[in-house]
Amino acid sequence: MVSPDLPITKSQDDKLNRRSFANSLAQTLLKYSFTSSLTIGLYGEWGSGKTSLLNMILETVESADDTIVILRFNPWLCSDPRQLITQFFKQLSTAIKLKKPTAEQAWDLIDQFGDVFELAGLIPGAGVLISTVGKILDKKAKEHVEKQSEDLQDLKNQIVKRLKEERLRIIVSIDDIDRLSEEEIIAVFQLVKALADFPNTIYLLAFDYKVVIHALSKVQYGDGKEYLEKVIQVPFEIPAPSMTSIHEYLFSKLNKILGDIPDDRWDKETWVELFQYGLKEYIRSIRDVIRYTNVFSLKYELLKHETNPVDLLGLTCLQVFEPVIYSKLPNYKDTLCGTYESYSYERQKEEEENIKKTIAVLIPDSEMSLNAEAAKKILGILFPKVRPAIHKFYYMGRSYIYRSFLINNNIAVSLCFDRYFSLTLEEDAISTSIIKHLVYEANETEFIEELQKIYREGKITRMLEELQAYADKRYAAHISAERASLIIKCLVRQWDSFKVDDNRFLSIPFVWRLIFCVEPLLEVMELPDRFAFICEIFEDRNIQTTILALLLDEFETQQGRFTEENSNKEQGRQLLSIEQVLSLEQIFKVRAEEALDSRKALEQYNGLSFLWMLEKIDPELAANKKKSIIIDDVSLIRVITYCTSHGSRSGRITSKTWGVNLKVIEEFINIDDAYQRICIFAKSAQFLELMKEEQMDAVAFLISIEDNGKKSIMGNHIVEEVIQKRLDDLIHEEN
């Protein structure tokens, strides 16, 4: 009975009467005969059925003309604007190849077009191409970008010519644009407007109008609407489905789940109140219906013989739409269940005050709740004991009769209460109680021990995602400054022990997750206390200098320092003042010198990864330190590791790649000397004692030198298989 939270794919499943519109628009697309590209915008808010409408349109097109190339491009699966661009052209090339294999030159040129973006490291910015090599482009880098732009235009002209010759008709649908970052939204529209405005190509773009024009305002001098009008030739506003249609869909789903439930088990009056005053306020879209009925279906299948169906419907509403409230309920069984224990007026008032305090904890304010008033009404209906404490809702709900409630397995009976919470939907997750204990209760020792246990279980990324959610502004106000400081301190002290592979395709860089957690937690603190705490962190010798560089970079960026634009500063998002940031720079310099002079930086995992920040703050000091850091072959390997990047390349298969920056290595040591030393050292027993990653980096360095400047399709990047083979040969020679 569970339904996937997916849009419909066939017109016959249409529940919102959109079929005729989809068919009319599809016929228009089929009749479109101009050679220029056409862009159609489908505007609608979240849950308005944009994706379903797209599917019905494309279904009609495909059934009418199977020669049209159709690409359903999902930009939400891409991790950044550059990957979005490259993946678009890769997928378009594949779509053409599958539909018309004989058009080899067309799809091959488009595939090359994507390769140029991927290898050049270019992304579309505000009307220009920007290199991702660094935030600041020097003269040589700018000349490189201009040359790449010329190559792109030449290749694009070839594509246009070939598509005209092949007379290919292409329809591209791009959905969920409003769910992208602002940079990615801009990339989509520049892709459609300039990079891929191919002949005989129709774009169907579906998005929330307000979200997109806000993002595009950064391109068109604050007027995103004007920019959008330049891209969209045919706009359509999709009205939200009527509440009547949505509620009818809900009832049909519930009828299928409940089946022929006996009348004596169905409390019709309570259901009417529950729906009218509670559930109705949460069910606002088809997606809400699917989310709600999916959870209820699973719970009901397991608990239908041991619970009251109406009570389960009400509790499931809180579980789906008010998870913060729902998660607290099991802790207040004695307060919520039953009725007042005393007939004494004073005693009842005392209990009533206790219930009021409980309600204040469960629903502290509107920011913690999607709909605080509706949530209170649901609690009043489920738990009659609560109603007097919620004065204006006193007229609602049933009277508590213990025997009747016990027979009907109502949640308000303490003996039946626990079974309503016995179903756990998530698998391989971290217990909510553990998360809450860490966030609100654990001391420093307990926090670190539990954190390391979670890391050993392979759940550290999930833990950080959970912690980020609690640290979000909606919840952070309920985390005290004392708790926030403890959490941050534990995280930064333990961070260097977490070794997580973040080079997988589409993965989020692991180091970002530290900032995602720390930044909102710092906002809990008052500014003077915040700065004092951060200074304490920077002075803490138990925290690696690389972590300080990561934190300092965030503060610098918020001030617009070392960046091309100071967008964060203009928005007033600084956690610290500029004077405080400059003070931190001085502390960081001292810590950086200590780490280098004591050689600790060379002994730690990624221990030199703070040098880039030192170069920004004090280039002369950084240059001097680089000249003296290599004292033996092991330190040389560590420097090579620092100058080596790791990534992945997506093609028919995804391959790990190594990129060795020889120019940066030259800042430490003469390249020829380094090569000779590594050649000798790689044949020694000491080399085999290094970590596998360091061995691979050293071999990648040797291969880069031996390439003698020859350029392959991978440029200076070397795939893992090549490095591993060379390393195996070295080990074989040693043995």
Q: Are residues 665 and 721 in the same domain?
A: yes
Model confidence at 482, in pLDDT bands (50, 70, 90)?
very high
3-state secondary structure of 306: coil
Nearest to 355 by CA among 330, 380, 375, 327: 380
pLDDT the model gives residue 582: 93
- Structural domain ending residue among the three candidates 421, 440, 463: 421
Q: In the chain, how many H helices and how many E strands? A: 37, 10
Model confidence at 127, in pLDDT bands (50, 70, 90)?
very low
Dihedral (Cα; 712, 717, 721, 726), 10-degree rounding: 90
pLDDT of 135 higher than 50? no
pLDDT of 341 higher than 70? no
pLDDT of 334 higher than 80? yes
Other CB atoms within 10 A of residue 561 CB: 18
Average pLDDT over residues 203-218: 88
Number of domains in the chain: 4
pLDDT the model gives residue 321: 92
| CA distance linking residue 56 with residue 354, whole number of Å | 55
Per-residue three-class SS string for 399-466: CCCHHHHHHCCCCCCHHHHHHHHCCCCCCCCCCHHHHHHHHHHCCHHHHHHHHHHHHHCCCHHHHHHH
282, part of any domain: yes
Is there a contact between 462 and 430 (Cβ–Cβ < 8 Å)? yes
pLDDT the model gives residue 567: 47
Average pLDDT over residues 122-135: 46
| CA distance linking residue 191 with residue 198, whole number of Å | 11
pLDDT the model gives residue 271: 94
Average pLDDT over residues 604-610: 80
For 513-534, b/e burial (b = at least 16 CB within 10 A) is: bbbbbbbbbbebbeeeebbebb
| CA distance linking residue 338 with residue 535, whole number of Å | 52
pLDDT of 374 higher than 80? yes
pLDDT of 476 higher than 50? no
pLDDT the model gives residue 149: 59
With 0-12 CB in 10 A as exposed, 13-18 as middle and 19+ as buried, what is 60? buried
pLDDT of 709 higher than 60? no
Whether pTM exceeds 0.85: no
326, part of any domain: yes
Q: Are residues 381 and 496 in the same domain?
A: no
> Locate tokens 């195996």: which residue?
728
- Residue scoring higher pLDDT (91 or 364): 91
| CA distance linking residue 104 with residue 108, whole number of Å | 6
DSSP state of 712: B
Q: Are residues 529 and 597 in the same domain?
A: yes
Structure tokens given for 467:
């912690």
The amino acid present at 578, given as its one-letter code, is I
- Residue scoring higher pLDDT (428 or 72): 72
With 0-12 CB in 10 A as exposed, 13-18 as middle and 19+ as buried, what is 316? buried
pLDDT the model gives residue 7: 62
pLDDT the model gives residue 566: 47
3-state secondary structure of 573: coil
Is there a contact between 530 and 519 (Cβ–Cβ < 8 Å)? no
Model confidence at 198, in pLDDT bands (50, 70, 90)?
confident
Structure tokens given for 283:
């069910």
Is there a contact between 204 and 172 (Cβ–Cβ < 8 Å)? yes
pLDDT the model gives residue 9: 66
Q: Are residues 149 and 173 in the same domain?
A: yes
Model confidence at 128, in pLDDT bands (50, 70, 90)?
very low
Q: Are residues 581 and 658 in the same domain?
A: no
pLDDT the model gives residue 136: 42
| CA distance linking residue 287 with residue 280, whole number of Å | 14
599, part of any domain: yes
Nearest to 512 by CA among 529, 527, 536, 495: 495
| CA distance linking residue 616 with residue 19, whole number of Å | 59
| CA distance linking residue 98 with residue 92, whole number of Å | 10
Model confidence at 293, in pLDDT bands (50, 70, 90)?
very high
Ranges of H-type helices in 329-413: 333-336, 345-362, 372-382, 402-407
> Locate tokens 């490291």: which residue?
121
Structure tokens given for 662:
């020889």
Q: Are residues 455 and 495 in the same domain?
A: yes
> Locate tokens 């939200």: which residue?
240
Model confidence at 8, in pLDDT bands (50, 70, 90)?
low
With 0-12 CB in 10 A as exposed, 13-18 as middle and 19+ as buried, what is 80? middle
Strand 654-660 relative to strand 644-650: parallel, antiparallel, unpaired?
Answer: antiparallel
- We report the CATH number of the domain holding residue 154 as 3.40.50.300
Strand 234-237 relative to strand 717-719: parallel, antiparallel, unpaired?
Answer: unpaired
| CA distance linking residue 312 with residue 681, whole number of Å | 69
DSSP for 205-218, please give it.
Answer: EEE-HHHHHHHHTT
Looking at the chain, the whole-number percentage of residues with pLDDT higher than 70 is 83
- Residue scoring higher pLDDT (324 or 139): 324
Q: Are residues 311 and 373 in the same domain?
A: yes
208, part of any domain: yes
Beta bridge partners of 38: 202
Q: Are residues 119 and 211 in the same domain?
A: yes
Q: Are residues 489 and 609 in the same domain?
A: yes
- Structural domain ending residue among the three candidates 629, 645, 662: 629
Tell me the residue range of the domain where 368 lies: 243-421
Is there a contact between 607 and 544 (Cβ–Cβ < 8 Å)? yes
pLDDT of 690 higher than 50? yes
Structure tokens given for 660:
């060795």
pLDDT of 103 higher than 70? yes
Residues 6+ apart with CB under 8 A from 531: 576, 580
Residues 6+ apart with CB under 8 A from 357: none
Structure tokens given for 537:
């962190």
Structure tokens given for 393:
């809702």
Where on the phi/psi map is residue 236: left (φ > 0), alpha (ψ -120 to 50), or beta? Answer: beta
pLDDT of 138 higher than 90? no
Structure tokens given for 155:
């290749």
- Residue scoring higher pLDDT (358 or 402): 358
Average pLDDT over residues 475-497: 84
Strand 38-43 relative to strand 201-207: parallel, antiparallel, unpaired?
Answer: parallel
Average pLDDT over residues 636-658: 77
| CA distance linking residue 638 with residue 601, whole number of Å | 9
44, part of any domain: yes
Angle at 420 between CA 417 and CA 423, to 5 degrees: 140
Angle at 723 between CA 722 and CA 727, to 5 degrees: 120
Q: Are residues 519 and 382 in the same domain?
A: no
pLDDT the model gives residue 379: 93
pLDDT the model gives residue 536: 94
- Structural domain ending residue among the three candidates 376, 395, 421: 421
Query: Maximum distance among all alpha carbons in the chain?
Result: 94
- Residue scoring higher pLDDT (573 or 526): 526
Tell me the Cα Rg of the chain.
31
Ranges of H-type helices in 80-138: 81-99, 104-120
Average pLDDT over residues 160-185: 86
The amino acid present at 24, given as its one-letter code, is S
Other CB atoms within 10 A of residue 142 CB: 11
475, part of any domain: yes
Where on the phi/psi map is residue 572: left (φ > 0), alpha (ψ -120 to 50), or beta? Answer: left
Strand 234-237 relative to strand 201-207: parallel, antiparallel, unpaired?
Answer: unpaired
| CA distance linking residue 113 with residue 92, whole number of Å | 11
pLDDT per position as a tens digit, 234-282: 888 886 677 888 898 899 999 999 988 888 789 999 999 999 999 999 9
Which secondary structure element, helix H or strand E, spans residue 122, and what is its range? strand 122-124
pLDDT the model gives residue 433: 66
Of 220-224, 367-371, 423-427, minimum mean pLDDT range: 423-427
6, part of any domain: no
pLDDT the model gives residue 18: 75
pLDDT of 432 higher than 80? no
Torsion sign (Cα): 123, 126, 127, 133: negative
Which secondary structure element, helix H or strand E, spans residue 199, and what is its range? none
pLDDT the model gives residue 3: 56
Q: Are residues 233 and 250 in the same domain?
A: no
Nearest to 406 by CA among 333, 332, 337, 313: 337
Model confidence at 427, in pLDDT bands (50, 70, 90)?
very low
Q: Are residues 529 and 464 in the same domain?
A: yes
426, part of any domain: no
DSSP state of 715: B
| CA distance linking residue 726 with residue 700, whole number of Å | 9
Structure tokens given for 582:
């400059």
pLDDT of 326 higher than 70? yes
Of 67-81, 249-263, 549-563, 588-602, minimum mean pLDDT range: 67-81
Residues 6+ apart with CB under 8 A from 202: 29, 32, 37, 38, 39, 40, 170, 171, 172
> Locate tokens 């009725």: which residue?
339
